[in-house]
Amino acid sequence: MSSGNFDADIQSKAVAIKHTASYAAGVIPLFYLPKNRQNMEENHEDRQAFQSSGNLVQNFFIVLPDAGAPIGVSGPESSGVLNAIRKALAGGAVPNAPLLKQPETLGEVAREWFHNNASAWRPSYAQRLKQRLEVGLLEHIGSRPLHTISPPELLEVVRKIELRDARETARRVLRIAGAVFRYGIATGRCTRDPTSDLRGALKPARAVKHRATLSARDLPKFLRNLELYQGDLTKLAMKIVLMTFVRTAELRFATWWEFENLDGPAPIWRIPAERMKMGKTHLVPLPRQAVSVLKEIRELQLGSPFVFPANTKKGVISENTLLFALYRMGYRRRATVHGFRSLASTVLNEAQFNRDWVEMQLAHADNTVRGVYNAAEWLSGRRTMLQWWADYLEAQRA
């Protein structure tokens, strides 16, 4: 048998493999490298015997265009692929030939990661994160196989966000990408996280501008000005914020059913988790002065389930109502509503109150074991602390 006929025979059987099973895209240029090609060309029967021998595998290679790409074949699948090669080269049929897994894209893995974690996030946070994921990342390279994305390619995408002067958004998108790649590593879709090579590649974050905050020595004058403010509901809302140092969103949407035991010895405000930044129900022990303010609001008979209703789209005072009141009182660039939280924290820590009580009342994150188990235990201490704070404010006003 001539060398040309032998090569043509091998080539035809390689084509049979290509048409018998749909392997990964662009796979299967096939090369036949026998140990003693000259002898086998001379003896066709010996060649046929060699095809059926167990030594066949070590003499055949499937050459992939991208040798670094995972082909997704192991265990039983690998045996099936080898059997397909043996049968095709021997001229037999290849029933139920196995398929090599296609590489998964960044978009597929990223959306799987998102859906696996979304239940642990607040809906508003999940929505913002999904927007950043889709627009900031997947819109550009979502169709790329996850394992092929390089650090420079990822950096090019994130720098498009940075060019809009959205530095913090760029950093957040990069953190999201890192979480997706780490998920990909854990689930066997890729072997490394390219974001780890991009540390220091983005422009530094801008310096944080701290909100204007009143000092303790400013309190007496501020409290006297507040008493003179024209606007009953706004003034009363400002007093509640001062005494409880809750966030503006936590205050604005307060409903009457959240307040418990207002006529009893242990009144409390139970703010639901969906309105809290940390997504956990927050308990606010109410000092007697705060209870008096709430009763004063109730006497206004505003006819709403909200404590601070207003003629707005959402039916409550706007997010800027209290801030604009501060402006009208002459405190533009001198005080903010959020600054009351810093003021309370400073005074209470200087008064040697338990730091954990202060942090819990501020509803800051506490991921320690103490944060999980001591919420109820510290309620009594926080009640004492908030009553002291309300008495302190009352004394400063006088």
137, 157 contact by CB (below 8 A): yes
Indicate the range of 256-260, 269-273, 365-369 predicted with least confidence: 365-369
Asked if residue 177 lies in contact with residue 133, where contact means CB atoms within 8 angstroms, the answer is no
Q: Where are the beta strands (DSSP E) in 107-228?
A: none
pLDDT at 14 over 90: no
Q: What is the pLDDT of residue 83?
A: 63
Look up the pTM and report it.
Answer: 0.54
Which residue's entry shows tokens 């009457």? 256
User: 72 or 331: which carries more pLDDT confidence?
Assistant: 331
Distance CA 273, CA 136 (A): 29
Q: Which is catalytic among the residues 35, 128, 221, 364?
A: 364
The amino acid occupying position 152 is P
Name the β-bridge partners of 61: 31
CA distance 135 to 124: 17
- Active-site residue, selected from the candidate residues 111, 167, 172, 338: 338
Dihedral angle of Cα 359, 364, 369, 375, to the nearest 10 degrees:
70
Q: At a CB cut-off of 8 Å and minimum separation 6, what does 96 contact?
A: 80
pLDDT (tens digit, 9 = 90+) per residue, 201-252? 888 876 655 566 788 899 999 999 999 998 889 999 999 999 999 999 899 9
Query: Mean pLDDT throughout 91-112?
Result: 70
In the residue annotation, 364 being an active-site residue is answered as: yes
| Distance between CA atoms of residues 249 and 318, nearest Å | 9
Length of the chain: 398
- Distance CA(106)–CA(197), nearest Å, equals 18
Q: Which one is catalytic: 37, 182, 235, 277? A: 277
pLDDT-derived band of residue 296, with 50, 70 and 90 as boundaries? very high
Handedness of CA 41, 45, 48, 52 (dihedral sign): negative
pLDDT tens for residues 190-199? 999 999 999 8
171 as an active site residue: the answer is: no
The residue assigned the tokens 């004492």 is 384
Cα-to-chain-centroid distance, residue 386: 34
Q: Is 341 a catalytic residue?
A: yes
**How deeply is 361 buried, as exposed, middle or buried, from its count of CB atoms within 10 A (0-12, 13-18, 19+)?**
buried
Would you call 25 exposed, middle or buried from its count of C-beta atoms within 10 A (0-12, 13-18, 19+)? exposed
Question: What average pLDDT does range 29-56 have in this prediction?
Answer: 42
Angle between helices 379-397 and 232-244 (to 10 degrees): 130
CB 396 within 8 A of CB 364: no
Q: Is 338 a catalytic residue?
A: yes
313 carries an active-site annotation:
no
The string of pLDDT tens digits covering residues 58-69 is 334 444 444 444
Higher pLDDT, 146 or 76: 146
Question: What are the tokens at 25?
Answer: 């895209």
Dist CA 111 CA 349 (whole Å)? 44
Is 140 an annotated catalytic residue?
no
DSSP string, 6-51: HHHHHHHHHHHHHHHS--STT---EEE--TTHHHHHH-HHHHHHHH
Q: Which of 247, 275, 282, 383 is catalytic?
A: 247
Supply 97's token pair: 């030939």
Contacts for 351 with CB less than 8 Å, ≥ 6 apart: 388
| Cβ neighbours of 206 (radius 10 Å) | 9
169 CB-contact burial (10 Å; exposed 0-12 / middle 13-18 / buried 19+): middle
